[in-house]
Structure 1
Amino acid sequence: MKVEELVKIVPSPRQIAWQQTEYYGFIHFGINTMTNLEWGFGDEPLDLFNPKQLDGDRWVRQLKEAQMQGVILTCKHHDGFCLWPTATTDYSVKHTPWKNGTGDLVKEVAEACHKYGLKFGVYLSPWDRHEPSYGSGRAYDDLYVAQLTELLTNYGEIFSIWLDGANGEGPNGKKQTYDWERYYEVMRRLQPDAAISVCGPDVRWCGNEAGQTRPQEWSVVPIELHNLEKIAEHSQQIDDGAFSRKLTSGDEDLGSREVLQNYQGELVWFPAEVNTSIRPGWFYHPEEDNQVRDVAELYAIYLKTVGGNSTFLLNLPPNKEGLIHENDLAVLKELGQKIIQVKDQTLIANAQLHVSSARKAITLSDLLADDRPFWQSQPEDQAPFIEISWDEEQRIQRVSLKEAIQESQRVEAFTIYYEAEDELKVAERGTMIGYQKIVEFPAIETKRIRIVFEQFRAAPTITQININ
């Protein structure tokens, strides 16, 4: 595969919009919450569902205060219980004591997202352990498409449709062969701007639920990865308590030039999402109240995901009363404060910019937001660099870079230098960038930072830079 072919692969507008969401929340809540199960069996009594303090507006407000930019709600998990008053089954909130059967949790969360400026996404499990038609083929596909249609037409704009590949038996002991292409047609028609995630063509799963990331997460990868999570034999089929922390060490490199040099197939833009829970489980369990991940661990995941060309989908499971536990909220708040620090542009806003070359004139203000013109070096520039300087010494511990991914993923290696004692010294070396790379290092005192791009597939394109 020639390097010229690699940079022809670019993201769709929906993939760019999804990637810009960066850090967002997963909310697992439903009948499982009431039974203290991870996977319900689909026969749990509906009168168990009556969360008296449930307030979707409060959930979204709390996530926004923690710097999240979107929310994905488990509208139906494997047990088949629907959090909206669907016309497709009686196994829904419509037939519970909650709000005397008049509640619609999907509507609550969707309206709160639109109110607070967060993006809203839906999770709809294809596996349904309650529905009698599951495993019968077209009859179940008809029901699933009807549920998709309700969710994608009644709740405003959807940014992500999250498809779990879990595939086990239904109440009749049969397994369904999912008609993915039919599902995709409905999604594209009803929500053309929504990214279809995990078991879909827009966003791929990172390969585990532990928050583990690859050293290099490339977005230009072989098309064969499109189908990996859709294969039933590879899906999660039991609730053994180990899957959420299972790591896969194989295929650590999916898209480097070395891996792709002999590849003769089709390449696609297929970026990675990292999903993990703030607790061991995805649904709330009171025995896990003291097992909430600490801010250091979650911040490390943030740096490796949002700062490593992925996105970070963090699960927050509300309890039986409908409240996110105070322990979860405390850590979430701490993480949000650290994210504010990462995004702080006070230091760079008072700097000067110098570049080795440029296809078009660029100013520092152009590089403070990723929706403005981007810098691209001249094609003949063999050692392109961006330099940021100040009149006085500054204390620096972090550099953030974003490529203009609409021009593909180009940078393969770079070095961050800083001036000390009238010479340039190495602060940190990096490999690929992609949508965003966040590099942290021991704090230094300097008046000048130079980022030199040493290996690239085509002239580097940087749309945003931050130093703090």
Structure 2
Amino acid sequence: MNQKNYTILFILTLVCFAKFSFSQEQLPLPTPAQLQWQNAELAALVCWDMHVFDGEFYVQKEARITPVKDYNAFNPQNYDMDQWIKSLKDGGFKMAIFTVSHETGFFFHQSDATPYCMKALKWQDGKGDILRDFKASCEKYGILPGVYIGTRWNSFYGVYDFKVNGNNQFAENRQQHYNLMIENIVEEIFTNYGDWAMVWFDGGAHGPEQGGPDVLSAFEKYQPNCLFYHNLQRADMRWGGSESGTVPYPCWSTFPYPSTGAGESAKKEIHANNFQLLKTGIPDGKYFMPAMSDAPLRGNGGHDWFWEPNRDHIIFPLETLIEKYYKSVGHNTSLILGVTPNPDGLMPEFDVKRLKEFGDEIKRRFSSPVATTSGTGEKLVLKLPKMQKVNQLVLMEDIAKGERIREFVLEGKTKEGWQTIFEGSCIGHKFIHRFDAVDLSKIRLQILESKGDPQIKEFTVYNVEG
């Protein structure tokens, strides 16, 4: 081999090494918990708190500062946790998250750290444990269990925005008491109930540096394989910038900061332009932090995360839920849908019906592909069994190797030749595109820009009626 060939070989080696080095070292990669989160796609936030039982309409600003009048109003006569979780299973949900505590400060588990918990109730002679039942039922139905812990507001203890009111010794002592109590409660939840798939601290969880309890240390010690959301140091996922159950396209899973903050602690650029950065992420973010798209099921003309009487009419129509699916799961996020059991201890009849309709419709739309393929490289051609109508396709990257694709084009082979279907940027975990039905024999994906070799986990085309 002459000197010229050696030089060419050396240059090619450097190029290959550079591509390998970039894709392996510079692209942020998801943790196993983050992969599990994005693969779940559909999660239910099961919201229950003491104000569900007071017969009054929930007003958040009042609930945060007003202790519950009578916590023994909690008396669900037909309580059936399996009915809750089965309704979620029928809806196609892969994960469920239960509000073990919210703004009233009551904890729905057996606690030795606070008296304001299930032990205080007359119901089940003070021996009930909703969190225990929730975890067991999730395991029974194959649902990933998550727990939502409210520490930022606690009307029973007089804590608002993480803090006890006042600047005197009493307030300081009270704050120390509250912080220690929360740390002990969190340790109970992390050690007495097995593994969690996700832990969600409502409104964030300020740590000792902001005068709050240290929950991150307990998490890292006892639940290291779980998804953490969130405090000023760490966020394994991010809020999608609205409670509409949708995000715009594109929505990248990478973010410029390791956490998002909460309230005044959030960076100005995160607040800017109506939380645009949370909604879109950035393509070359340093941190892997996928977005969520959250909305309550009872949000059609209202916004009820918690059950209220005579509100069945605000349950989202099926077609609205399907649209949210396309603009959440289909835009590279997971959809979190808020559901709430009623005071009888059951998921309401109309909610159960709508969840089942939703699950059945998603199955109908995505259970019969026309053709599918996968592969690596800058071009993939999907040959259809025959010239036929198609109107929907799904693309998925192998995000375990990072979000690599930056620009792509989709083209269909008609009788007149290749025609452009879509020009896009982000694929990520999943991108779903709907288009007017057209007769095609092939569909071609061309990657125009990527960081490292493109890794297409799935390229599937459908013809969906209706």
- Normalised by the length of structure 1, the TM-score is 0.81
Deviation at 1:430, TM superposition (A): 2.4
> What is the aligned partner in structure 2 of residue 229 from structure 1?
262
Residues 5-154 of structure 1: pairs in structure 2 closer than 5 A: 7-35=26-54, 36=56, 37-39=58-60, 40=63, 41-127=66-152, 128-131=154-157, 135=164, 136-154=174-192
In structure 1, distance between residues paired with 2:194 and 2:205: 29
Among the aligned pairs, what percent are the same residue? 23
> What is the aligned partner in structure 1 of residue 405 from structure 2?
411
Q: Which of 231, 235, 240 pairs up with 1:206?
A: 240
Q: Which of 278, 283, 287 pairs up with 2:306?
A: 283
Tell me if structure 2 keeps the 8 A contact 1:28–1:283: yes
> What is the aligned partner in structure 1 of residue 359 from structure 2?
336
* Corresponding letter in the other structure for 2:376: Q
In structure 1, distance between residues paired with 2:147 and 2:194: 11
Tell me if structure 2 keeps the 8 A contact 1:83–1:105: yes
Deviation at 1:58, TM superposition (A): 1.0
Q: Which of 228, 246, 252 pairs up with 1:196?
A: 228
In structure 2, distance between residues paired with 1:34 and 1:249: 34
1:458 aligns with 2:438: no
Alpha carbons of structure 1 residues 198 and 327: separation in structure 2 relative to 1, 3 Å: farther
SS of match in other structure, 1:290: helix
Alpha carbons of structure 1 residues 222 and 418: separation in structure 2 relative to 1, 3 Å: same
In structure 1, distance between residues paired with 2:204 and 2:218: 20
41-50 vs 2-11, which moves further: 2-11
> What is the aligned partner in structure 1 of residue 274 from structure 2?
248
* Corresponding letter in the other structure for 2:344: E
Tell me if structure 1 keeps the 8 A contact 2:384–2:442: yes
Residues 285-364 of structure 1: pairs in structure 2 closer than 5 A: 285-348=308-371, 364=373
In structure 1, distance between residues paired with 2:451 and 2:68: 55
Q: Which of 136, 149, 157 pairs up with 2:195?
A: 157
Q: How many residues are treated as equivalent by the alignment?
A: 411
Alpha carbons of structure 1 residues 43 and 232: separation in structure 2 relative to 1, 3 Å: farther
In structure 2, distance between residues paired with 1:123 and 1:38: 20
Deviation at 1:447, TM superposition (A): 2.2
In structure 1, distance between residues paired with 2:404 and 2:143: 30
Q: Kindly report structure 1 stretches of 4+ aligned residues shifted beyond 4 Å.
A: 2-7, 230-234
> What is the aligned partner in structure 1 of residue 10 from structure 2?
none
Tell me if structure 2 keeps the 8 A contact 1:26–1:73: yes
In structure 2, distance between residues paired with 1:108 and 1:102: 12
Q: Can you list the C-alpha shifts for 1:226-282, whole angstroms capped at 9, x where unaligned?
A: 142264589xxxxxxxxxxxx92543653146xx7xxxxxx2111111121011111
Note the aligned Cα RMSD (angstroms): 2.7
SS of match in other structure, 1:76: coil
In structure 2, distance between residues paired with 1:343 and 1:277: 24
Tell me if structure 2 keeps the 8 A contact 1:110–1:155: yes
SS of match in other structure, 1:226: coil
Greater C-alpha Rg: 2
Deviation at 1:132, TM superposition (A): 5.8
Residues 387-402 of structure 1: pairs in structure 2 closer than 5 A: 387-402=381-396
Kindly indicate which of the two structures has a greater share of residues assigned to helix: 2
Tell me if structure 1 keeps the 8 A contact 2:81–2:346: no
Tell me if structure 2 keeps the 8 A contact 1:220–1:268: yes
| Unmatched tracts of structure 1, length 5 or more | 169-175, 235-246, 261-266, 350-363, 368-374, 378-383
Q: Can you list the C-alpha shifts for 1:176-212, whole angstroms capped at 9, x where unaligned?
A: 94546x3111112111111012444211111222224
SS of match in other structure, 2:359: helix
SS of match in other structure, 2:140: helix
Alpha carbons of structure 1 residues 230 and 14: separation in structure 2 relative to 1, 3 Å: farther
Deviation at 1:449, TM superposition (A): 1.4
* Corresponding letter in the other structure for 2:193: Y
Alpha carbons of structure 1 residues 255 and 79: separation in structure 2 relative to 1, 3 Å: same
> What is the aligned partner in structure 2 of residue 184 from structure 1?
216
* Corresponding letter in the other structure for 1:333: K
> What is the aligned partner in structure 1 of residue 433 from structure 2?
439
In structure 1, distance between residues paired with 2:205 and 2:396: 37
Tell me if structure 1 keeps the 8 A contact 2:306–2:340: yes
In structure 1, distance between residues paired with 2:75 and 2:245: 32
* Corresponding letter in the other structure for 1:205: W
> What is the aligned partner in structure 1 of residue 3 from structure 2?
none
Q: Can you list the C-alpha shifts for 1:399-453, whole angstroms capped at 9, x where unaligned?
A: 1111111221111222222221151112233221111111111222322111122
| Unmatched tracts of structure 2, length 5 or more | 1-17, 165-173, 268-272
